[in-house]
Chain A
Amino acid sequence: METAHGPRYPQRRLAKYLTRLAAQLRMSQRAFVVGAAVIVGLGAGAGALLLRWLIATTTRVALQGGSGLLAFLGAFQVICIPALGGLLVGVMTSCLAREAKGHGVPEVIEAVALRGGRMRPVVPVVKLLASAICIGTGGSAGREGPVVQVGAGVGSTLGQWLRLSDEHIRQLVACGAAGGIAAAFNAPVAGVVFALEIILRAFNPTSFCTTVIASVAASEMARAISGNVPAFVVPPYALVSLWEFPLYAILGIAAAGVGIVFTAMLYACHDVFEGLTIPAYLKPAAGGLLIGTVGVAFPQIFGVGYDIITQALHNALSLRLMAVLVVAKMLATSLTLGSGGTGGILVPSLYLGAMLGGCFGTLVHALWPTVTAVPGTYALVGMAAVFAAVAHAPITALLILFEMTGDYRIVLPVMLTTVIGTFLAERMASESIYTLKLSRRGLQLSGRRTLDILQTMQVKEVMETQVDTVPTTMGLPALARRFERLPCQSFPVLDARGALWGMLGIEEFTHALAQDATDHLTAGDIATTSVATVYPDEPVSTAMRRMAIGDFRCLPVVERSNTRLLLGVVHWDDMHQVYQRVMKRRSRTDSREGP
């Protein structure tokens, strides 16, 4: 049989085999995801390399352009170049992808938590170009935000294109983030831990495997192209004496302070620029002008700032300069990102940490030269501590420091300062710089492994748009007929222009009936006018909380820009039903992965 069949119809057997293979593959998406992880890793690695090249090119062009075209400006070109860059970035982000604004990581976390990792494919492209321009023209920001978003975008796009399930798209997004970090900083382990600790916020063996694959692929690619050197080359620093531990503890406390102030300043800048009444595309330009002004006095704040960090690590900066740079860099980064520029906060935090540690180290080394290490050691330790305090991610901070410097000897001081930094920062501010952006929109991620399902759903998904409303002029007899028909409902009351006047429930109605003169009373008189409302883009949990506080059965949903414009209502029961349905569906999709 076999000999008769085999050679005669080889193509048929092949086709049969392939169909079976395809069926098997479809059955286990997991195998698919592993394969996809390699591609995502390579894509993320390519993105990171491309970003590095783009930043270098933009910097060169900006400098050449500065000395050529803008030469007539003289000293003012330092101010104008960042402003011009800001203008370009502003136009790009507001026309093409508003999501590309800011530091990138919160957007990825949000996509993972809310939309099953789905992102628009245009975002990574815009992000890549915008951050290259922003950083290349002098904006003070890091590369990790863009590379994470680009990698995540590659993963998300591939996942959507392959029509994978939410869970698998999420995994590919994490792969992209891991690959991006791994390639950008030559830090494969930190990439994996970053993806698990910050992006997925959960750990399971499957996601571990895929992120490791992506991370290895990305770093192998980066190493093949740009060589295997650590990001910072440091002299062999070590602990000099046990007396240094209390000093490192103080450094940890200082790092927590810097981390908290940095986060607060970044969001304060963000709020100030949000409040400005100039067009959105002009805001980054305004930010650029301010950065340029800061940069006139301290050119060290421009760009990513690896060279300045390296100088601090080699004890090449003076105490006064480092102290000033802590403030200047913080301000510059806040202005860059707050005004709508794009870039990451990892390297700026490392920068702040190096400066802080350098200052501290210079001081203590001057005081007790025999028992303390040189200032560079403190700068090294400070880097991890400030990043940990800013991101609330001690393990990522530890590992990224080791991988960026290739130096492990200093582990104990680093762990000590990192943990003190994180501990205090978490105590004083419950949200990290990454999750604060989300928590301001009502998404409470901190300290929780997975996002509460109610936070992942928006009010507009559960609200009812066909609403029975009541005009303010309606008299009590007509209302009585309404309530007879629908006793358990509250009705939104609208005034003559259709604007929301208040809410009217059975309690108010019966209360009104109990009064003496009921003849002239109308719906407008008896309705509750001070009602709680929700916006359609708020999470369901917010609506539920408001209902619970005021003991309402339903809430009117109103437009954000016009709080008198009724869009619909949400009922407690609807939300509960939807919750149950989603919960069940989610548990089904999750368990399909199996152990």
Chain B
Amino acid sequence: MIEGEKRKQRRKELLRMLPLRFTHHVRRTTTIRLTRLLRDHPVLQAESLLLVAILISIGCGGAAVALHRAIHLVTHLMYDMWGAVPGGWRPLVIVMTPAAGGLVAGLILHYMIPEARGSGIPQVKLDLVMRRGEIPFKVALGKFITTTIAIGSGRSLGPEGPTIQISASIGSTIARWFPMTATQMRIIVHAACVSGLAAAFNTPIAGMTFVMEEIIGDLNARHLSYLIVAAVGATIIARLLLGSAPVFEVSAYVLGHPAELGLYVVLGVLSGLLSVAFIRLLVWSIARFQAIALPEYVKPALGGVLVGIMGLYLPQVFGIGYDTVTDALLNRLPLALMAALTVGKFVATILSYSSGTAGGLFAPSLFIGAMLGGSLAALVEAVSPMHIVTPGAFALVGMGAVFVGIIRTPITSILIIFEMTNDYALILPLMLANMTSFVLARFLEPRNLYEAILAVNNVHLPSAQDHVLLEEIAAEEVMESHPIVVQPETPVAEVAALLDQTHHRGFPIVTATQSLLGIVTATDVHQALAHDQQNAPVKAIATTSNLVYVHPDHTLNWVMQQLGAHEVSLLPVVTRSQPPRLMGVLTRADVIRAFAQKKTQHG
């Protein structure tokens, strides 16, 4: 009776549990099946990645718009505050606003999210290399807040670089919800960067080419489709929320006299020189600020004070400054102001950036370029009989030319100007000036802005060049051509002694005729000693078949591959004759040393 009760209860319990178990089971198996399907089915995989790309493009587009709105809001608050302050106190408040903003941003950066410092683009590149594109969400959050505070309080920086980092972080976060391989993760982060830039500037094509030129480093990216989809998605969102007007409204420009083309080349030269000066001074200034013995979070405030003082005299240097750029494009600014702003924005940007807050350099370089071009056109008008039909055109072309000199993305620099203004008429002067500036800047300063900034902190990102360097060196140039060798009959004990003396990890075994018989490694010897084989001939314990070796004309790239693929530490270099004759040996250290030497030679 009691037994029966118990059994009934058990059955009841089991019945109650069953649906739970069942659903749990079903859920688990469907998840697994879905994951497998996504992972294994090539077409579905590509399409699901496309869906993820669309998803992140919406998120990133929204984030870009939010940042834009937030900066606007804070900037207006700041102006309202300045207006409300009584006259006598106003200069002090104006000076102190960027300083206070700098302090707040500095504290957040120092204590909470150090990854959010700087422009964002070098950081994303670093994360792509070092962390396989896994960027935590707090980076997005921190970058958003610090950028808003820094630019809103008047720092002379731009929102585009931060948008890219915020987008990369959001994209990476969303992508982590799905099963992803490392390559797919990278694709998604690339797509997120495209979304960010496309939405920030309302420039879908330039957003795409920028990421291909600067972040991927290849214009023939295989995953172009995802980038385009991301660009379109983000741009749709941005246009829905902000309207589809281009960033700069310009009047219709014309190329007047063909001689103006010569003047555009001059503009290219000036832009190139100014860009190189900008990169060098920025790097110098970063190092200066780092050397100051103050707590890290005070330095942005220090920079803020200096920018504030400049802003007292030239209020146009504050913030992003696109209104001023539009004025220059519409030819509304006098020569003196534009010349002063070329220098003023230049200095203010360097101070703002190098003192260490969040903020990008796209907008400042466009600003400086517009002022430089505008100044040149106004100057030529003033001092020479040449009549320039539309001086604003020079401001426009200057934007692209300085941009390409600093950021070094030639195709983007052409397309971004074209897309930001919807004006195609100036394409030839633009191409000409950009090319001149690009060639000159690259000749004078081979590193681009981001490489230079990373190099201050001794960070070096791998480039395609490194691969080429390894291809350039042949094994025979590097190998040790008089290696210590052992004879096949040498007793193991003797080899052990030799190992101790030389601290080598192994020796090649050669016959009397110098032909390679095998390799004996420290491991072989230790095993032999453990089995009491001190007096055995070394050939009995060594590797003598399936030897891994290279020929003298093999390149170091191949050598590295062989070292890695077979997990050996010592690689004999032999002739192509049969049987192979030993010419030398190579170790990993030899390869690395040769690479480092070559690298320093190349500079």
Contacts and interface: CB of A to CB of B under 8 A. Distances in A.
B488 to A, nearest CB: 24
Contacts of A447: 222
Contacts of A212: 410, 431, 434-435
A232 to B, nearest CB: 14
A584 B438 CA distance: 31
Main secondary structure of the interface of A (DSSP, over half): helix
Interface string B541-556: 0000000000101110
Given A408-B419, A408-B422, A412-B235, A419 B229 contact: yes
A96 B471 CA distance: 41
A205 B465 CA distance: 13
A591 interface: yes
Interface in B428-481: 428, 431-432, 434-435, 438-439, 442, 446, 465, 468-469, 471-472, 474
Interface residues of B, number: 55
B43 interface: yes
Contact of A422 (B219, B224, B558, B576): B224
A355 to B, nearest CB: 24
B236 A581 contact: no
A511 interface: no
A108 interface: no
Contact of A205 (B43, B410, B418): B410
A88 to B, nearest CB: 38
B220 A197 contact: yes
A395 B224 contact: yes
Nearest to A248: B232
Interface string B576-593: 100000000000000000
A408 B235 CA distance: 14
B235 A449 contact: no
B436 to A, nearest CB: 9
A426 B222 CA distance: 11
Contacts of A398: 205
Contact of B205 (A205, A415, A587): A415
Interface in A230-246: 242, 245
Contact of A203 (B219, B419, B468, B576): B219
Given A212-B410, A419-B229, A583-B555, A205 B438 contact: yes
Given A209-B439, A419-B225, A587-B471, A203 B431 contact: no
Contacts of A416: 229, 232
A399 B431 CA distance: 15
A408 B424 CA distance: 9
B220 A418 contact: no
A298 interface: no
Contacts of B558: 580
Contact of A402 (B261, B424, B602): B424
Contacts of B489: none
Interface in A205-261: 205, 208-209, 212-213, 215-216, 219-220, 223, 242, 245
A208 B472 CA distance: 24
B598 to A, nearest CB: 10
A189 interface: yes
B323 interface: no
Interface string A552-595: 00000000000000000000000001001101100110110011
A242 B239 CA distance: 11
Given A403-B424, A412-B236, A587 B411 contact: no
B446 A595 contact: yes
A394 B432 contact: no
A299 B569 CA distance: 73
B249 interface: no
Contacts of A412: 204, 232, 235-236, 239
Contacts of A581: 553
The winner among A213, A216, A219, A406 for most chain B CB atoms within 10 A is A216
A595 B465 contact: yes
A584 B553 CA distance: 8
Interface in B211-244: 213, 218-220, 222, 224-225, 228-229, 231-232, 235-236, 239-240
A406 B232 contact: no
A591 B438 contact: no
A220 B422 CA distance: 21
Contact of B232 (A201, A205, A415, A594): A415
A125 interface: no
B224 A591 contact: no
A427 interface: yes
Interface string A372-415: 00000000000000000000001100110011001011011001
Contact of B231 (A189, A215, A415, A422): A415
B282 interface: no
B414 interface: yes
B220 A590 contact: no
Contacts of A402: 424
A419 B221 CA distance: 13
B470 to A, nearest CB: 9
A272 B404 CA distance: 51
A584 B555 contact: yes
Contact of A219 (B43, B261, B428): B428
A494 interface: no
A189 B553 CA distance: 43
A197 B218 CA distance: 10
Interface in B460-515: 465, 468-469, 471-472, 474
Max chain B Cβ within 10 angstroms of own Cβ: one of A188, A411, A418: A411
A242 B235 CA distance: 13
A189 B415 contact: yes
B427 interface: yes
B477 to A, nearest CB: 11
Nearest to B50: A423
Given A196-B219, A415-B204, A216 B410 contact: no
A449 B218 contact: yes
Contact of B427 (A189, A242, A415): A189
A71 interface: no
Contacts of A205: 408, 410, 438, 442
Contact of B468 (A196, A223, A587): A587
Contacts of A409: 422
Interface in A335-390: none
Contact of A423 (B225, B231, B235, B432): B225
Contacts of B46: 423, 427
B456 to A, nearest CB: 20
A202 B442 CA distance: 19
A56 B369 CA distance: 45
Contacts of B119: none
B410 A208 contact: yes
A459 interface: no
A55 interface: no
A154 interface: no
Residue from B204, B220, B411, B474 having most chain A Cβ neighbours under 10 A: B220
A188 B428 contact: yes
B451 to A, nearest CB: 11
Contact of B431 (A215, A245, A422): A215
A394 B228 contact: yes
Given A584-B474, A587-B555, 17 more contacts: A188-B431, A189-B427, A192-B431, A203-B213, A205-B438, A209-B435, A209-B439, A212-B435, A242-B236, A408-B418, A409-B422, A577-B576, A580-B551, A580-B558, A581-B553, A587-B471, A587-B472
Instruction: List the 6 shortest-distance A-B pairs measured between CB atoms, nearest first.
Output: A203-B219, A587-B471, A419-B228, A423-B225, A212-B435, A415-B232
Interface of A: 188-189, 192-193, 196-197, 201-203, 205, 208-209, 212-213, 215-216, 219-220, 223, 242, 245, 394-395, 398-399, 402-403, 406, 408-409, 411-412, 415-416, 418-419, 422-423, 426-427, 447, 449, 577, 580-581, 583-584, 587-588, 590-591, 594-595
10 contacts: A188-B427, A189-B414, A189-B418, A196-B219, A205-B438, A212-B434, A398-B205, A419-B232, A423-B225, A590-B468
